[in-house]
Amino acid sequence: MSVNPAILFTAATTSYVANCALGAAVATGTLRTGRAHWIHHALYISTASLAGIAASSLFWSRNRAGLLLLPAAVPLVLIPAISSRSRRHIVTALSAAPFFVASLIKAWR
């Protein structure tokens, strides 16, 4: 059974966008998660895992989109160490966006 790498890049990017949207909604007070703040953490784990799996397509497919996603590993590794109440958390999280977008476009071409 063969998996289309583009599907994995779509899943990783969707998880990233959902995580950013949830984080922005909580940060602006639009949404209150209360005791369910773990959802943001679960989305982060989902995003990091899916990004890793998508990037692994470099080893098992001809799709080279993983090369464009690899730099997103830096902000994904740094983000847990930065206070979620700081501006640096937001800037670091958003710095991964160009890599997710570029790899998604490349994956579908």
Residue 1 confidence (pLDDT): 56
Helix or strand holding residue 3 (H, E): none
Mean pLDDT of 39-46: 96
Mean pLDDT of 32-48: 93
Average pLDDT for the chain: 95
Which residues neighbour 54 within 8 Å (Cβ) at sequence distance 6 or greater?
A: 5, 8, 9, 11, 12, 65, 66, 69, 103, 107
Mean pLDDT of 15-20: 97
Residue 43's identity, in one-letter code, is: L
Residue 107 has pLDDT above 90, yes or no: yes
Q: What residue ranges do the domains of the chain occupy?
A: 5-108
pLDDT in tens, 46-69: 999 999 999 999 999 999 999 999
